[in-house]
């Protein structure tokens, strides 16, 4: 109305050409920057991003065109509706473009209407949007303070990452809900800490080569394991995975399968059962696994070349043939879901990425590449790490060399998936990447672990354990054991067992190693503030002793003073 002058033939007043037009141009430019920032925030995980805000967004007006996809009545959603169905289930039906539109429009509207709107005028930058997300003027500031916002940054920001706090739709007992709202419906049970292989990335040179006899002594017996499983299922656990060591080396493995099958048969909804195995002894147990309802098989296979097997696994060539035989048997059986876990090591098997990818052309298998990570004094070295970005690049380069289309990114199967998935158009299988080192996924963690000696661990990397085996053998009743479980869950850290990052977990000390640069502002400025490298160039290395001190060139500080202040506060 300010620009309309009916007394002047509808011609706008003179100041329109200057002041108002400048304002309009600034608004347009800021909008472009805002939505570019939103796009960057949502990159790679739009569905995780929306979960961070969905409890705010869906309780406000929802455009009618989206109502049918959201599965709700009317133009808004009451808080009770969310608790009835669960935001995760609703979200699974929302197309990705609607997800991005809902989140993008809502966050941008908060930015535009907030106290900071365009406070920098024509000098507004993309950085101001990120400052806005961190500011107290945003109604989600309380969530930001508990590391939720760090989950958004996690897609791009290395050291700035914290925890991806996401909601779970699984109904569990309050004793399995931690202080970050994570609901632990997934139990991983180590049947033994021994293995019949001697993989270089797992076992030290002096590691034992022991076949585990029928368990006793300080190891959970089959009966004790059965009691614990019933207890956790009673509390709401709906997914169980058997691990090791190598679980099939248990002398009573067949009995354990029978016990799990009996437990499964008593449930209205069967458990999601899985096993992680090296495959050497797997084939003989497939009938028992099928009878128990165990469908999900994760087979560790680090090379398709038998000649490399003795070097990588410390066992004879013919053992590789046994593993390949097990792999084919599982892949050909429709009952089972097969995933291949391949830990990539520089100078050892990174040249086999293409061969593994080709398996997905005709086999219904999910090939997953894992980053080499430190645990249990396993002689970890950053120089052997193949980061996620390099894995993806190798996959796409291989497909291009065959004249094939690039693999397309797939949405996660669930909110708690640890793998990012791709698929080549028209191919049967899928490709996954698990980036434990360069992009941890703690925020969506719904896992608890029981070790072979009966300790409950709330984190793979945690140092504290709660000895449930000792309590059972002292005659402690179930209700008291539940109290111990609740204590363990409540004391779970936001990420990495309380460590700052994965590099801190290296017991051998990474202080003298060269680490992949994790500058948190590479994602914002398309360059690393530490060395001014353009994004997309080769990864560079910095001494670990200075990885949290960004040596920002003076010209960068001059260009982006706010970013430098932000980097200072994130150190």
Measured CA to CA, the distance from residue 149 to residue 219 in angstroms comes to 41
Q: Given a cut of 50, is residue 270 above it in pLDDT?
A: yes
Reported as a pLDDT band with limits 50, 70 and 90, residue 246 is very high
Reported as a pLDDT band with limits 50, 70 and 90, residue 550 is very low
Spatial CA neighbour of 85 closest among 169, 174, 186, 2: 169
Cβ neighbourhood burial of 66 (10 Å; 0-12, 13-18, 19+):
middle
Measured CA to CA, the distance from residue 148 to residue 500 in angstroms comes to 16
pLDDT at 441: 60
Tally Cβ neighbours within 10 Å of residue 451. Answer: 21
Q: How confident is the model over 174-219, as pLDDT tens digits? A: 889 888 888 899 999 999 988 888 887 776 554 444 444 445 578 9
* Strand ranges for 216-343 from DSSP E: 239-243, 272-277, 294-300, 337-343
pLDDT at 34: 53
Please provide the average confidence, as pLDDT, over all residues in the chain. 68
* Strand ranges for 59-213 from DSSP E: 186-190
Q: Given a cut of 60, is residue 421 above it in pLDDT?
A: yes
Domain boundaries, the chain: 14-145, 174-490, 498-570
Q: Given a cut of 50, is residue 509 above it in pLDDT?
A: no
Contact 421, 409 (CB under 8 A): yes
Dihedral sign (CA 5, 10, 13, 19): positive
Q: Given a cut of 90, is residue 65 above it in pLDDT?
A: no
Q: Given a cut of 50, is residue 343 above it in pLDDT?
A: yes
More confident residue, 531 or 179: 179
Mean pLDDT score, 294-323:
94
Reported as a pLDDT band with limits 50, 70 and 90, residue 347 is confident
Q: Which helix (H) or strand (E) holds 408?
A: strand 408-410
Share of the chain above pLDDT 70, in %: 51
Measured CA angle at 342 (ends 297, 518), to 5 deg? 125
pLDDT at 118: 41
Measured CA to CA, the distance from residue 312 to residue 201 in angstroms comes to 8
Mean pLDDT score, 503-520:
37
pLDDT at 445: 84
DSSP 8-class letter at 368: E
Cβ neighbourhood burial of 12 (10 Å; 0-12, 13-18, 19+):
middle
Q: Any residues with CB less than 8 A from the CB of 6 and at least 6 apart, and which?
A: none
Cβ neighbourhood burial of 8 (10 Å; 0-12, 13-18, 19+):
exposed
Strand order in the sheet with 466-467: 408-410, 420-423, 430-434, 365-370, 337-343, 294-300, 272-277, 239-243, 186-190, 447-450, 455-457, 466-467
Reported as a pLDDT band with limits 50, 70 and 90, residue 23 is low
Q: How confident is the model over 132-149, as pLDDT tens digits? A: 554 443 433 333 322 333
Measured CA angle at 156 (ends 60, 530), to 5 deg? 140
Q: Which of 17-31, 276-290, 384-398 has the lowest mean pLDDT?
A: 17-31
Contact 464, 499 (CB under 8 A): no
pLDDT at 406: 95
Q: How far is CA 382 from the centre of its chain?
A: 20
CATH of 174-490, one of 3.20.20.70, 3.30.1300.10, 3.30.930.10, 3.60.10.10: 3.20.20.70
Q: Given a cut of 70, is residue 566 above it in pLDDT?
A: no
Reported as a pLDDT band with limits 50, 70 and 90, residue 424 is very high
pLDDT at 56: 44
- Distance between first and last Cα of the chain: 49
Reported as a pLDDT band with limits 50, 70 and 90, residue 525 is very low
Q: Both tokens of residue 153?
A: 């940054």
pLDDT at 374: 55
Q: Given a cut of 60, is residue 4 above it in pLDDT?
A: no
Dihedral sign (CA 220, 224, 225, 228): negative
Q: Give the alpha-carbon dihedral of 284, 290, 294, 300, to 10 degrees.
A: 30
pLDDT at 383: 66
pLDDT at 217: 78
Q: Which of 261-265, 440-444, 459-463, 481-485 has the lowest mean pLDDT?
A: 440-444
Contact 444, 48 (CB under 8 A): yes
Measured CA to CA, the distance from residue 369 to residue 343 in angstroms comes to 6
pLDDT at 285: 97
Residue 228 vs residues 159, 454, 459: alpha-carbon distances, Å = 38, 9, 18
Q: Which of 73-82, 96-105, 157-166, 479-488 has the lowest mean pLDDT?
A: 157-166
Cβ neighbourhood burial of 337 (10 Å; 0-12, 13-18, 19+):
middle
Q: Which of 4-13, 165-174, 253-262, 483-492 has the lowest mean pLDDT?
A: 165-174
Q: How confident is the model over 448-457, as pLDDT tens digits? A: 999 999 999 9
pLDDT at 442: 74
Mean pLDDT score, 305-321:
92
Measured CA to CA, the distance from residue 37 to residue 57 in angstroms comes to 19
Q: Given a cut of 70, is residue 434 above it in pLDDT?
A: yes
């Amino acid at each position: 109305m300010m620009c309309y002058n009916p007394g002047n033939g509808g011609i706008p007043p003179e100041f329109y050409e200057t002041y108002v037009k400048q304002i309009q141009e600034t608004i347009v430019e800021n909008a472009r920057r805002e939505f570019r920032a939103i796009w960057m925030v949502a990159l790679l995980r739009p569905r995780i991003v929306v979960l961070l805000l969905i409890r705010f967004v869906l309780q406000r007006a929802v455009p009618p065109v989206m109502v049918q996809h959201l599965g709700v009545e009317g133009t808004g959603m009451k808080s009770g509706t969310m608790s009835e169905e669960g935001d995760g289930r609703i979200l699974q039906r929302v197309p990705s473009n609607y997800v991005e539109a809902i989140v993008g429009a809502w966050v941008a509207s908060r930015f535009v209407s907030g106290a900071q709107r365009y406070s920098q005028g024509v000098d507004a930058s993309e950085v101001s949007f990120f400052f806005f997300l961190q500011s107290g003027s945003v109604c989600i500031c309380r969530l930001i303070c508990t590391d939720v916002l760090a989950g958004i940054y996690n897609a791009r920001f290395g050291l700035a990452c914290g925890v991806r706090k996401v909601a779970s739709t699984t109904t569990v007992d309050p004793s399995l809900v931690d202080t970050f709202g994570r609901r632990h419906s997934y139990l991983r049970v180590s049947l033994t800490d021994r293995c019949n292989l001697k993989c270089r990335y797992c076992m030290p040179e002096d590691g034992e080569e022991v076949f585990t006899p029928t368990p006793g002594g300080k190891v959970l017996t089959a009966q004790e394991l059965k009691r614990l499983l019933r207890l956790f299922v009673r509390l709401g656990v709906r997914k169980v995975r058997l691990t090791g060591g190598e679980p099939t080396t248990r002398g009573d493995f067949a009995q354990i399968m029978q016990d799990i099958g009996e437990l499964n048969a008593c449930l209205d909804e069967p458990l999601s059962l899985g096993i992680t195995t090296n495959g050497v002894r797997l084939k003989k147990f497939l009938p028992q696994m099928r009878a128990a309802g165990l469908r999900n098989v994760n087979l560790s296979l680090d090379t398709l070349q038998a000649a490399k097997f003795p070097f990588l696994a410390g066992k004879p060539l013919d053992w590789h043939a046994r593993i390949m035989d097990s792999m084919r048997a599982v892949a050909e059986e429709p009952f089972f879901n097969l995933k291949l876990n391949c830990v990539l090591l520089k100078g050892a098997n990174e040249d086999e990425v293409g061969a593994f990818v080709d398996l997905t052309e005709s086999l219904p298998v999910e090939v997953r590449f894992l980053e080499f990570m430190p645990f249990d004094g396993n002689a970890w070295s950053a120089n052997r790490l193949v980061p996620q970005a390099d894995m993806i690049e190798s996959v796409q380069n291989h497909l291009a060399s065959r004249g094939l289309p690039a693999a397309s990114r797939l949405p996660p199967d669930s909110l708690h998936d640890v793998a990012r998935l791709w698929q080549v158009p028209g191919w049967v299988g899928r490709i996954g990447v698990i980036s434990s080192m360069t992009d941890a996924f703690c925020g969506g963690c719904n896992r608890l672990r029981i070790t072979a000696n009966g300790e409950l661990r709330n984190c793979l990397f945690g140092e504290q354990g709660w000895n449930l085996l000792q309590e059972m053998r002292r005659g402690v009743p179930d209700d008291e054991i539940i109290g111990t479980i609740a204590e363990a869950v409540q004391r779970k850290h936001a990420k990495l067992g309380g460590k700052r990052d994965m590099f801190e977990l290296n017991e051998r000390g990474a202080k003298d190693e060269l680490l992949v640069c994790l500058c948190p502002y590479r994602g914002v400025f398309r360059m690393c503030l530490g060395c001014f490298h353009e994004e997309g160039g080769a990864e560079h290395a910095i001494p670990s002793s200075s990885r949290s001190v960004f040596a920002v060139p003076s010209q960068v500080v001059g260009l982006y003073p706010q970013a430098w202040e932000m980097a200072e506060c994130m150190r």
